[in-house]
Amino acid sequence: MRAETHERPVTAGQLPSIGELLDRQGVLAYVLLLPGVLILAAFIGWPFITSLWLAVTDQSVSTSVVRFVGLDNFTDELRSQIFLQTVRNTFVYTGVTVVFKLALGIGLAVLMNQSFRLKNIARAALLLPWIVPTALSAIAWLWLFDATFSVFNWVIVRSGLADRGINWLGEGAWAMTSIIIANVWRGTPFFAISILAGLQTVDRELLDAAAVDGASPWQRFWRITIPLIRPVVLIVLLFSTVWTISDFQLVYVLTRGGPANSTHLLGTLAYDVAVRAGQLSQGAAISLYMFPVLIVCVVALLVYMRRSSI
Amino acid sequence: MERREITTSTDRLFSRRRFIYYTAALAAAAACGPAPAPATGSATGSPVGAVQLRGTKVNLLHWTSFVPDEDKWFKETLVNDWAKPNGVDLTVELVSANEAQPKIVAALQAGGGPDVMLLQWTWAHLYADKLSDVGVIAEKVGSDGGGFYDAMKQNSQVQGVWRAVPFGLLGNAIHWRESVLKQAGADKFPATWSDLTKVAADAKSKSKLFLGQALGHSFGDPPTFVQPFLWSYGGSETDETGKKIAVNSAATKDALVAFKEFFDKSADPQCLSWDDSSNNRAYAAKQIWATLNGASIYLTALKADPDLAKDTQLALLPAGPKGQVLLGVPFQYAIPKYVKDPGPARELVSYIMSPKTYGGFMKAGSGYTLAPYKKGEGDLWPSTDPKFDPFKKVGTLTKWYGYPAPPSQAAAESGSKYILVDMFAKVAQGETPESAMSWAEGELKKVYKL
């Protein structure tokens, strides 16, 4: 369809009025985009450029004179065992949580797509972990995992499953498991609700036709439903990967990266180095190590969306 | 325009011309009479000199104490006794000790924020370039207080310049239950680490209660335990010059081997996740029989559980082969350079730190925060409770981050990264002392840029 414009011819030497300019679609589009672009530039673009600059200097809280050091901050980190451990932690944390969130999210979405009493209330309740502020829910998890007063340990000991409880946050592997559990609990609703929205767009007639042709429920789900909701699943997967890899609050409240750095993620380590130890440039370099991974995710997402829209 | 006639006595009294006469007369009288004195800061014998206080605003960033009466003193007594009479709009912002540093860094980087900030440890060395010289106040306070303890001076002076005024010291002591110690067959608290390991192992096997020592990433209890432990065996981060990393040594290995035995026999792995409040809760719930902590555990028990308080005794950390060394948590007041009119801030610090005011503060807090100067263990000592007496030695015995080298930015950074705490935590988790030392050496080399 051809865009309809209401442009009035402007005679030579006569400037168009603001109203006339805004009548032009090309101009109006930029005017409408401007506030969003300015907000993004101020709150994302500028901090990002600043962190790029910081990462190639030797700025710390204590220095007044700043020197350009090239990529030294990046190479220095590669010699740090804490950093290397943090990179491993970040990938383990992201990989495991995303897989669990996806599996549980699909399961919950399928469940919520059925007809049952109080369906709407159940759907609303499902969103609660996602809605509650992370810092608040992390404090609740902190109490659940508390070394002395853990509810889980109380149940384990009282039910006779073990003589003593699990050292949830005090032992490296259990601490990682704990933050993974908390993250999965928090992130699953996002998967479930998004996939549920996708499920509701699946044409019932296709499923009914397959059933008539003798397809089993599993075949219908695997061969018809999954291909149809794949765009939604991929987008949710990519968003979740981006958010999880840059996670901070949950880990900061639950373990602060401990014990002995076994749960540090790039976000929490960058914070510790930049803010607590005052090494702003090193902290910026650590956080920028996330960038290549995130950019791959974003590019993949954009490419996929472009292909889907063709 | 119609002219209005003056007809009544009221009209005559308040006519425009008369109003001008009265006003002029009042102004003349006011000009000739004695002027109201502006509120100045000289009343406390301040070294700052006359400072215009009335109408000024001061924002004080302070930590939230584990003893609520100390917070109350700042929120109420300080406001009523100093701010209101001087006409100062004083805001006291209390933040938890672990959250203070992010606020301070943000303020220093942004160039705006609190007028007075309470620093911890050797942070004055970390932020020296951005802090005002407060030598005039510090010298006067130190002199009035009978002299600062060496550690307090070391933490606040950067290359001879006072970048902060010492505020106080949290003396950590082992809180232990007399009944459990007796159950273990001991009649007094052990004086050495090796004896404590034996007694605490017996206590654990007989009472099923362990010695709870926090080893997580938290500001107070973990470093005040591991660093003195290391020093008392002769180990340290660097040599005395601070120019050579010395952590990978026979002395450190001795310390770590002794610690591993101590931890395995008397503590519990759950301590690896503990922060500064975990052991308070565990002790109050009688889940542990001993723990290193500030006096807050005992002070809380006095009110909440008198029987537990009665059973509780306090002792300083035991000695190692190289003697008894402590690490109290030091606090200092700093005034950032971004404060355009530092007069009121300086006046506030002078007021708080004058021995007269500080004595009142110590009394309010029952001696939880110890004075940074020697009068604190003398005339100003607030407690009549003999259980508190061990704290009198904390100021003298306490060292600083980076000891035996002078405090430095690198030492402060290493402390903020919990490198020594993690070295001990790794050993507690089962890593060999050699591996943990080697790890710490690598991280320290990076921090010290050596």
Q: Do A259 and B215 touch (CB under 8 A)?
A: yes
Residues of chain A positioned with their CB less than 8 A from the CB of B425: 258-260
A272 and B417 within 8 Å at the Cβ level: the answer is: yes
CB contact under 8 A, A272 and B105: no
CA of B32 vs chain A CAs: smallest distance (Å): 52
How close is the nearest chain B Cα to the Cα of A253, in Å? Answer: 11
- Residue for token digits 């974003």? A298
Is residue A199 a part of any domain in this protein? Answer: yes
| Interface test mutation site (partner B, options A58, A60, A62, A156, max chain B beta carbons within 10 A) | A62
- In angstroms, how far is CA B108 from the centroid of its own chain? 20
Digitized pLDDT (tens) for each residue of chain B, 450 residues in all: 444 444 444 454 445 445 444 444 444 444 444 444 445 544 445 666 677 889 999 999 999 998 999 999 999 999 999 999 999 999 999 999 888 998 999 999 889 999 999 999 999 998 999 999 999 999 999 999 999 999 999 999 999 999 999 999 999 999 999 999 999 999 899 999 999 999 999 999 999 999 999 998 888 899 999 999 999 999 999 999 999 999 999 999 999 999 999 999 999 888 888 888 889 999 999 999 999 999 999 999 999 999 999 999 999 999 999 999 999 999 999 999 999 999 999 999 999 999 999 999 999 998 899 999 999 999 899 888 999 999 999 999 999 999 999 999 899 889 988 999 999 999 999 999 999 999 999 999 989 988
Chain-chain contact of B270 with A167 (C-beta, under 8 angstroms): yes
Residue A127, in any domain of the structure: yes
Q: Are A264 and A81 in contact (CB under 8 A)?
A: no
Radius of gyration of chain B (CA): 27
| Nearest of A289, A291, A251 to residue A272 by alpha carbon | A251
In a domain, A182, yes or no: yes
Interchain proximity B272–A167, CB inside 8 Å: yes
- Give the closest of B216, B270, B417 to A277, CB-based: B417
Chain A positions in Cβ-Cβ contact with residue B446 (cut-off 8 Å): 76, 79-80
Q: Name the domain count of chain A.
A: 1
Tokens read off for B267: 């503590």
Contacts of B281 in chain A (CB under 8 A): 148-149
The predicted pLDDT at position B128 comes to 92
Facing B129 at nearest CB: one of A62, A169, A260: A62
- The neighbouring-strand residues paired with B323 are B320
Rounded Cα distance, B330 and A131, in Å: 41
**pLDDT score of B138:** 97
Q: Is residue A22 part of a domain?
A: no
Min distance B363 CA to chain A CA atoms (Å):
33
CB–CB of B358/B144 below 8 Å?
no
B127, A62: Cβ pair inside 8 Å?
Answer: yes
Rounded mean pLDDT of A267-287? 91
Q: pLDDT-based confidence at A26, cuts 50/70/90?
A: confident
Name which residue leads in pLDDT, A66 or B198.
Answer: B198
Residue in chain A nearest B429 by alpha carbon: A171
Q: Which of A61, A175, A271 sits opposite B273 (nearest CB)?
A: A175
Residues belonging to chain B: 450
Contacts of B447 in chain A (CB under 8 A): 277
The beta-carbon neighbor of A258 closest among B108, B216, B442 is: B216
Considering only the beta carbons, identify the residue of A61, A273, A279 that sits closest to B127: A61
Nearest chain B residue (CA) to A272: B417
Q: Which residues of A touch B (CB under 8 A)?
A: 60-64, 76, 79-82, 146-149, 167-172, 175, 255-261, 271-273, 275-280
Query: A230 in a domain, yes or no?
Result: yes
Asked whether the beta carbons of residue A275 and residue B102 sit closer than 8 angstroms, the reply is yes
Whether A272 and B218 lie within 8 Å, measured CB to CB = no
A32 assigned to some structural domain: no
Query: Is B273 in contact with A258 (Cβ distance < 8 A)?
Result: yes
Range of the domain at A196: 54-309
Instruction: Give the CATH number for residue A206.
Output: 1.10.3720.10
pLDDT at B449: 87
Residue of B nearest to A59 (CA): B109
* CB-based contact A61 B417, cutoff 8 Å: no
Range in A4-8, A106-110, B57-61 the model is least confident about: A4-8
pLDDT tens for A199-249 read: 999 998 999 999 999 999 899 999 999 999 988 998 899 889 989 999 999
Domains, in order of start, for chain B: 43-171+329-397 (3.40.190.10), 173-327+417-448 (3.40.190.10)
* Pair type for strands B288-293 and B210-211: parallel
Q: Is residue A89 part of a domain?
A: yes
pTM for the whole structure: 0.80
Distance CA A271, CA A257 (A): 11
Please tell me the distance in Å from B328's CA to the nearest CA on chain A: 20
Chain B residues contacting A, CB < 8 Å? 101-102, 105-106, 108-109, 125-130, 215-218, 269-275, 278, 281-282, 285, 287, 409, 412-413, 416-417, 422, 425-426, 429, 439, 442-443, 446-447
The answer to whether A290 and A269 have CB atoms below 8 angstroms apart is no
CB contact under 8 A, A275 and B101: yes
Contact B285/A168, CB-based, under 8 Å?
Answer: no
Give residue-wise pLDDT tens across range A291-306: 888 888 888 877 877 7
What's the pLDDT at A309?
A: 60
SS3 track for B169-201: EECCEEEEEHHHHHHCCCCCCCCEHHHHHHHHH
Q: Is residue A6 part of a domain?
A: no
Could you tell me the sign of the dihedral formed by the alpha carbons of B156, B158, B161, B163, in that order? Answer: negative
* Chain B hits for A167, Cβ within 8 Å: 269-270, 272-273
Tell me which residue in A61, A79, A167 faces B126 most closely, judged by beta carbons. A61
Band of the pLDDT at A65, cuts 50, 70, 90? confident
Measure A143 CA to nearest chain B CA, in Å.
11
Q: What is the CA radius of gyration of chain A?
A: 26
Mutate to test the interface with A, among B126, B158, B221, B270 (most CBs of A within 10 A): B270
Instruction: Determine whether the interchain pair B282/A148 forms a contact, defined as Cβ–Cβ distance below 8 Å.
Output: yes
CB-based contact B272 A258, cutoff 8 Å = yes
Contact B269 A261 (CB under 8 A): no
Give the CA distances from residue B133 to residues B20, B103, B130, B150, in Å, rounded to whole numbers and listed in that order: 52, 21, 10, 19
Nearest residue on chain A to B430, alpha-carbon basis: A171
Q: What is the pLDDT of residue A308?
A: 67
The reply to whether residue B270 touches residue A148, judged by beta carbons under 8 angstroms, is: yes
What are B168's two structure tokens?
């106080």
Q: What is the pLDDT of residue B323?
A: 96
Q: How many residue pairs bridge chain A and chain B with CB atoms within 8 Å of each other?
A: 111
pLDDT in tens, A154-178: 999 889 888 888 889 988 899 999 9
Cα gap B416→B125, rounded to integer Å: 12
Q: Do A82 and B443 touch (CB under 8 A)?
A: yes
Chain B residues touching residue A62 (CB < 8 angstroms)? 125-130, 409
